[in-house]
Chain A
Amino acid sequence: MTGRAKLFRTSTFRLAALYLILFAVSVSALLGYVYWNTAVLLQEQTDYTIQAEVQGLADQYRLRGLSGILDTVQRRSSNDSRSVYLLAGPSGERIAGNLASLPAIPDDESGFIEFPVDVGNGATRERHTARAFYTRLTGGFELVVGRDVEALRQFAAIIRQTILYALAIALVLGLGGGLLMSRNFLRRVDAITDASRTIMAGNMSGRMPVTGSNDELDRLALALNEMLEQIESLMAAMKEVSSNVAHDLKTPLTRIKARVEAALRSGSEAEYRSALENTVDESDRLLDTFNALLSIARAEAGQARSGLVPVDVSELIADVAELYEPMAEEEGGTLTASAAPGLHVLGDRQLLAQALTNLLDNALKYGAGDGQTPGISLSGTLEGDKVVITVADHGPGIPEEDRARVTERFVRLDQSRTKPGNGLGLSLVSGVTKLHKGTLLLEDNAPGLRASLVLPVWRE
């Protein structure tokens, strides 16, 4: 597409052209109105006075005969240079008036006629247009009464010309302005297009140009920039996650490889056996990590959202508590569960149960102070339009500064590194909460951790 064709296709240019047409039409209407009000009305007025004068003269003729109007015609034609008069006899010969002879009468009937007259004195004679009323009086006399309308005609011509010039100027200005505006618009759109091409080419730090005028293009560019910001940070997070994943999967793989190689070198039957057993253990752990990552990805992708159904949270809490109670007692601790009856959320029972068991696993692992036994409480309450599921323990809790990052994948706090785990438990809880359009609160239980899933309530 050539540059010019592109210019004519811009929406700004089309808009400008549309406005131009509208503008031209309204200007024409306005000027047309002025023209009608001046030139046309002036002519009508002239016609009216001519007719009134003819009427007057005809009346006089009827009352007083030829001599009655002869005087008047003679007087008026010598006084007023802008009027034309002619009184002619039955055979057409001039009797009185300032016209030399009778102009051509088209139909030989009464009516308005227009004809040229020569006016002026001495050497400067001009040819003007006269407009007159022709009438035949009784007795064969003919009367022509008119006015020199040259000035009026010129005035009308000037107005017509003005209208044409005004239209032409409006068109030229509108067209030029439209082109200029479109060029400007096109230049900015091209800048945005160029910027997005650069970004697509891999320069993620590139941004759309913003002029600072805060017009709609600027607002669009700002919105796009916000989006790019978000994408960039998501991509950075993903990069971090994948390097974490790589690290957390590579470490056990390296251990397996080292162990197996050492066993092969040793050549002893017992070593083989223990290396193989160790390999099974390590690969189980790897699979656990892998499955946890998949669960988180699934929850976070939100694709499971379409499969959400009403879940009885009260029942879920009772079920999960029943599954974990013996375990807590085995550890010498307690698990107390309480839930308001009939709490429902729109959810995925498996994922919610998995989130709760993750929290309970954590509470069992970290939920007891030194030399103490875990005292865990699991509860479900209704707070306004939220269902709040809380798992609380009396362990060391999570220091405030770490609460934001413990939900990230593979983050393990130093004090927990000695216990088994993959640093994915809370990530899954967080992902499941997000899937359910809820929030995960990690609070101080003074002492201990108070983890709450705040989920929108479902009502029939």
Chain B
Amino acid sequence: MQVREHDSHVWTATPTRQAMRILVIEDDREAASWLVKGLAEAGHVADHAADGEEGLGLALEAVHDVLIVDRMLPKIDGLTIIRKLREHNIQTPVLILSALADVDERVKGLRAGGDDYLGKPYAFAELIARVENLGHRAKEAPQTTKLKAVDLEIDLLTRTVTRAGKPILLQPREFKLLEYLVRNAGHIVTRTMLLENVWDYHFDPQTNVIDVHISRLRAKIDKGHDEPILQTVRGAGYMIRDK
């Protein structure tokens, strides 16, 4: 668990997010009601299905932006729901929630057609960051060669970065880190998401090694600029401003 500090409702501090319609398929009613409540507080609309059959029925309507699917469900299990959706060519992004958090299980979930995998128990900040990441990733134009956030620009072809027109020299890993942050500009990115997507490590080191990498990156991109673009969202993670 990377989330150590906890200010309340930090995720509401990101005004750039757009409201999404989210379907929660989870048989534990109490867990589901907290989840729905949390999503609503974060400004989203959440539906709930308590078993696999109902969940699949709702998901087949294809009106949701993101699905949150528990793996072990009555009637139809989570992975089967995802497979059936993909068979019907419904590409709604899916976040799989499961107590089975082994790397092997994760691979199984992603192979079934899931887009992200989060082990239980999770921190809500982690979940919301991932759900929003899935929501906006689906809308992203796939063939982008340039990424932009405020006055920061990344050219993916030449692998160069400029801030307010001035070039910034980055190490390959720093480039990858910044690219991931900018792709999610306006959205919170958690430390675990960074470890998974930038370093491809699916475990949490005991020390917060990510923080040091972020502060180095920040020194390079925010130095000499009045408005810092790389923000720390306390209790949740990091965010690149997009406004």
Contact = CB atoms under 8 A, between A and B. Distances in A.
| Binding partners A and B | yes
Interface of A: 277, 280-281, 283-284, 287-288, 291, 295, 298, 304, 307, 319, 322-324, 326-327, 330, 348, 350, 353-354, 357-358, 361, 364-365, 420-421, 425
Contacts, number: 59
Nearest to B7: A277
Nearest to B213: A326
A341 B2 CA distance: 33
A323 B123 CA distance: 24
Contacts of A357: 201, 203, 205-206, 209
Nearest to B198: A323
A446 B35 CA distance: 54
A41 to B, nearest CB: 84
Contacts of A291: 101, 203-204
Contacts of B173: 322
A284 B3 contact: yes
Contacts of B62: none
Contacts of A354: 201, 203
A372 B39 CA distance: 48
A304 B107 CA distance: 13
B213 A304 contact: no
A304 B104 contact: yes
B214 to A, nearest CB: 10
A358 B216 CA distance: 23
Given A277-B6, A319-B199, A364-B207, A330 B102 contact: no
A295 B203 contact: yes
Given A322-B173, A326-B216, A327-B209, A298 B102 contact: yes
Contact of B104 (A307, A319, A322, A420): A307
Contacts of B4: 281, 284
B15 interface: no
A185 B231 CA distance: 81
The 9 closest A-B CB pairs, nearest first, are A326-B212, A284-B1, A361-B206, A357-B205, A354-B203, A327-B209, A327-B212, A350-B103, A330-B212
B205 A361 contact: yes
B121 interface: yes
Interface of B: 1, 3-4, 6, 101-104, 121, 123, 173, 199, 201-207, 209, 212-213, 216
B205 A287 contact: no
Contacts of A319: 199
Nearest to A322: B173
Contacts of B203: 291, 295, 350, 353-354, 357
- Tell which of B101, B103, B121, B213 has the most Cβ of chain A within 10 Å: B103
Contacts of A277: 6
- Tell which of B123, B201, B209, B216 has the most Cβ of chain A within 10 Å: B209
Given A298-B102, A323-B199, A350-B203, A288 B212 contact: no
A304 B102 CA distance: 10
Nearest to B121: A287
Nearest to B235: A280
Contacts of B207: 327, 361, 364-365
B204 A324 contact: no
Contact of A287 (B1, B6, B209): B1
A420 B202 CA distance: 22
A288 B203 CA distance: 10
Contacts of B216: 326
Contacts of B209: 323-324, 326-327, 357
